[in-house]
């Protein structure tokens, strides 16, 4: 399979034409091996981070970590004389991450130093750059905070300060300049965002121009139509949030919703050029999030909603191709991602691609959608396949490979992922994801790792390849990932049932998932519990609350002191806003005064004497979400009790570890630790 390797180019059109269903033979498969898969393969930097078609569909841009020491930006020109790929931007001290097309000739992008670790984020803003698709006219648009200027190709000095960000890129159309984007100036005080002020920014001249908005005071969030016209403004004041709307040909903003921060009645998701606003509402007795349109005549969201996903909150959005066009379809992620196409032509394309790539999720992105010569970018993935990028030309029935997402991953050796819905001890519906090692059979139970997700107010489970789960499964463990109460994605009732339940019913859900797996013949009585952030907290509380279930625990970047998390400290800095501590955390975790007894009773630090099982602790030394003090205090307490944990910290890593070396080192420690206690 041809892939992008280096600065040179490759001929996509030299690949064979595919026109039959079944295995295409295009995906390179490693030879099956009985040898253990190296840790490094699971935590490698992706070959392709992101890929996008140009508006005309004649080029593909992607960020890749191959062909250089850093993640660079590559453009594939799908010309008539053969498709060639060129590296158009790269740095020696930074990696290109987010990017967008600006018309067909330019791109804008931001950078991070992935080699510095996530601790860099507290010191350095990502900046913004532009470059032509042929690699010419590289220019810095927004300065990186605390980073000396990287000279652009022109040496010009007109650069916005670090507190500017990309808000919107208009779609290609008549009457809208192809060289302008919408940038926003962030007003920050006391470490908290106060407002965002949009402005036009020319990517070729670096000049800005004013946007006449007459905006609500203190607007922090914005949504724009395809012409870059502001349609939705969001404000946050004294624990209240409000939404304002300004439709086409309107000059005044009108408030359409208001609520406290935790109970928004309508969450905007998309606007179109016809003056329609789409978003989500709570629907049904369990409060599942559903997708609908806002009815401006009635002043309320439309009911019944347009799209519901029974058993799941709506996760996805509209698919819009070009300015002024109607939505082509809607993409949703339930137990598996799927696309519901409204456009008949795209329905047929989806059917054709699914025949060529069976058993996969095949996500289609198109330019000139519906045109005879349209080009479709396909990201094909599954629970066992991290993903492969293809180009599909419907007129020629031709499917051509672009690149694997990861190197040297053989799907036949990977674990399978499945979702089960079980009942907790108090009768609540409890979604549980299982990652089952290759060759696993029900009725032949194996040791288990209960992997508790962080957040905790997120949804973690998806039918896709995930590195930690796959790594643990490759070592012979059944990975049990419960979506305990408090998790998002499974209805408002399930979400709110976890409020003020840290270490209590939330912890029971984690235990119930393991007990169910053992009863079903999936797992033996050999189990350890593991997790990061809230998952690390849950790991510690699992050892305290249910010591009979777990032989060991692995906790990284873990909350160990709920009081410190809820209250904060003058002496220990973190990135939790005063707004969150005043208006949200007291309701979701606990009030520092009214719930003091509850917080202490469910504090791993205060209950350290009950942690008897072997424990591995890992922390980032630059973590601002869960500062290192959480780990140091628990380490000291356990050491004083004569049970010191295994301990490791990583310099310049924050809450989400970014360096490959960090991830690999910790995974090897986890492998050894679990092997000592489960094998």
What would the pLDDT profile of 270-283 be if each residue is shown by its tens digit? 998 889 999 999 99
pLDDT of the residue at 192? 86
pLDDT of the residue at 247? 93
Residue 29 has pLDDT above 80, yes or no: no
Say if 440 falls within a structural domain. Answer: yes
Residue 34 has pLDDT above 60, yes or no: no
Rounded CA-CA distance 587/139 in Å is 46
Residue 190 has pLDDT above 90, yes or no: no
- Exposed, middle or buried, 92 (CB in 10 Å: 0-12/13-18/19+)? exposed
pLDDT band (50, 70, 90) for residue 81: low
pLDDT of the residue at 442? 84
pLDDT of the residue at 14? 27
- Alpha carbon separation from 107 to 97, 156, 222 (Å, rounded): 12, 18, 22
Say if 521 falls within a structural domain. Answer: yes
Rounded CA-CA distance 555/540 in Å is 7
- Exposed, middle or buried, 161 (CB in 10 Å: 0-12/13-18/19+)? exposed
Split into its structural domains, the chain has a count of: 1
Rounded CA-CA distance 545/529 in Å is 12
Residue 26 has pLDDT above 70, yes or no: no
How far is Cα of residue 225 from the mean position of the Cα atoms in its chain? 24
How far is Cα of residue 554 from the mean position of the Cα atoms in its chain? 23
pLDDT of the residue at 282? 96
DSSP 372: T
pLDDT of the residue at 126? 87
DSSP for 63-101 reads EESSSSSS-EEEEEE--TT--EEEEEE--SS-EEEEEEE
Say if 501 falls within a structural domain. Answer: yes
Is the alpha carbon torsion for 466, 472, 477, 483 positive or negative? negative
pLDDT of the residue at 11? 28
| Predicted TM-score of the model (pTM) | 0.91
Say if 125 falls within a structural domain. Answer: no
Say if 241 falls within a structural domain. Answer: no
Helices 534-545 & 505-519, crossing angle to 10 degrees? 70
Which residues partner with 39 through β-bridges? none
- Identify whether the C-beta of residue 568 lies closer than 8 Å to the C-beta of residue 592: no
Say if 244 falls within a structural domain. Answer: no
DSSP for 397-464 reads TEEEEEEESSSS--GGGSPEEEEEEEE-TTS-EEEEEEEE-TT--TTS-EEEEEEE-SSSSS----SS
Q: How big is the chain, counted in residues? A: 679
Residue 432 has pLDDT above 90, yes or no: yes
pLDDT band (50, 70, 90) for residue 172: confident
Rounded CA-CA distance 387/409 in Å is 10
Residue 98 has pLDDT above 70, yes or no: yes
Residue 675 has pLDDT above 50, yes or no: yes
pLDDT of the residue at 82? 67
Range of the domain at 435: 415-678
What share of the chain has pLDDT > 90, as a percent? 77
Residue 123 has pLDDT above 70, yes or no: no
pLDDT of the residue at 10? 26
Say if 481 falls within a structural domain. Answer: yes
Mean pLDDT of 180-203: 92
Say if 503 falls within a structural domain. Answer: yes
Q: What is the mean pLDDT of the chain?
A: 90
Rounded CA-CA distance 450/511 in Å is 9
Q: State the CATH number of the domain containing residue 518.
A: 3.40.50.1820
């Amino acid at each position: 399979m041809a892939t992008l390797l280096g600065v040179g180019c490759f001929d996509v059109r030299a690949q064979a034409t595919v026109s039959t269903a079944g295995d295409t033979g295009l995906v390179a498969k490693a030879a099956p091996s009985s040898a253990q898969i190296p840790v490094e393969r699971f935590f490698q930097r992706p070959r392709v981070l992101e890929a996008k078609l140009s508006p005309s569909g004649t080029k593909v841009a992607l960020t890749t970590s191959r062909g250089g020491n850093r993640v660079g930006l590559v453009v594939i020109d799908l010309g008539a004389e053969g498709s060639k790929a060129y590296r158009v931007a790269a740095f020696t001290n930074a990696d290109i991450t987010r990017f967008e097309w600006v018309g067909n000739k330019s791109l804008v992008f931001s950078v991070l130093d992935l080699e510095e670790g996530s601790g860099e984020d507290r010191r350095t803003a990502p900046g913004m750059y532009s470059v032509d698709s042929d690699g010419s006219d590289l220019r810095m648009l927004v300065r990186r905070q605390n980073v000396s200027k990287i000279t652009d190709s022109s040496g010009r000095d007109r650069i916005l300060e670090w507190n500017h960000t990309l808000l919107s890129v208009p779609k290609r159309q008549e009457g809208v300049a192809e060289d302008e984007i919408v940038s926003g100036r962030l007003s920050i005080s006391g470490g908290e965002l106060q407002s965002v002020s949009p402005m036009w920014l020319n990517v070729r001249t670096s000049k800005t121009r004013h946007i006449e908005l007459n905006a609500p005071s203190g607007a922090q969030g914005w949504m724009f139509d395809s012409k870059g016209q502001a349609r939705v403004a969001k404000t946050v004041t004294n624990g209240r949030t409000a939404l304002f709307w300004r439709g086409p040909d309107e000059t005044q903003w009108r408030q359409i919703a208001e609520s406290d921060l935790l109970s928004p009645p309508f969450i905007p998701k998309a606007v179109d050029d016809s003056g329609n606003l789409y978003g989500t509402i709570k629907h049904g007795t369990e409060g599942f999030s559903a997708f609908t349109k806002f009815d401006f005549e009635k002043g309320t969201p439309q009911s019944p909603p347009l799209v519901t996903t029974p058993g799941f909150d709506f996760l996805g959005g509209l698919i819009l191709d070009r300015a002024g066009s109607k939505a082509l379809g809607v993409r949703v992620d339930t137990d598996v991602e799927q696309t519901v196409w409204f456009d008949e032509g795209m329905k047929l394309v989806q059917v054709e691609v699914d025949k060529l790539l069976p058993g996969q999720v095949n996500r289609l992105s198109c330019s000139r959608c519906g045109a005879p010569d349209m080009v479709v970018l396909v990201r094909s993935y599954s629970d066992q396949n991290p993903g492969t990028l293809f180009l599909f030309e419907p007129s020629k029935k031709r499917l051509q490979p672009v690149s694997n997402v990861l190197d040297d991953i053989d799907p036949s050796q990977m674990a399978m992922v499945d979702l089960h819905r079980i009942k907790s001890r108090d009768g609540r519906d409890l979604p549980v994801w299982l990652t089952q090692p290759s060759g696993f059979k029900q009725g032949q139970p194996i040791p288990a790792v209960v992997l508790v997700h962080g957040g905790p107010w997120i949804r973690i489970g998806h039918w896709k390849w995930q590195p930690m789960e796959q790594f643990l499964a490759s070592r012979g463990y059944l990975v049990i990932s419960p979506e305990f109460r408090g998790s998002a994605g499974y209805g408002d009732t399930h979400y709110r049932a976890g409020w003020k339940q840290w270490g209590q019913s939330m912890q029971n859900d984690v235990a119930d998932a393991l007990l169910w797996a053992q009863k079903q013949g999936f797992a033996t009585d050999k189990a350890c519990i593991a997790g990061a952030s809230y998952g690390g907290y849950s790991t510690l509380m699992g050892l305290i609350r249910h010591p009979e279930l777990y032989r060991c625990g692995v906790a990284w970047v873990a909350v160990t002191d709920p009081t410190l998390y809820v209250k904060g400290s003058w002496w220990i800095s973190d990135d939790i806003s005063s707004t969150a501590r005043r208006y949200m955390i007291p309701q979701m975790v606990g009030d520092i005064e009214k719930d003091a007894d509850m917080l202490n009773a469910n504090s791993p630090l205060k209950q350290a004497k009950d942690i008897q099982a072997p424990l591995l602790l890992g922390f980032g030394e630059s973590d601002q979400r869960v500062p290192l003090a959480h780990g140091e205090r628990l380490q000291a307490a356990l050491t004083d009790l004569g049970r010191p944990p295994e301990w490791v910290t990583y310099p310049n890593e924050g809450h989400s570890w970014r360096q490959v070396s960090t991830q690999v080192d910790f995974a090897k420690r986890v492998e050894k630790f679990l092997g000592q206690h489960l094998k």
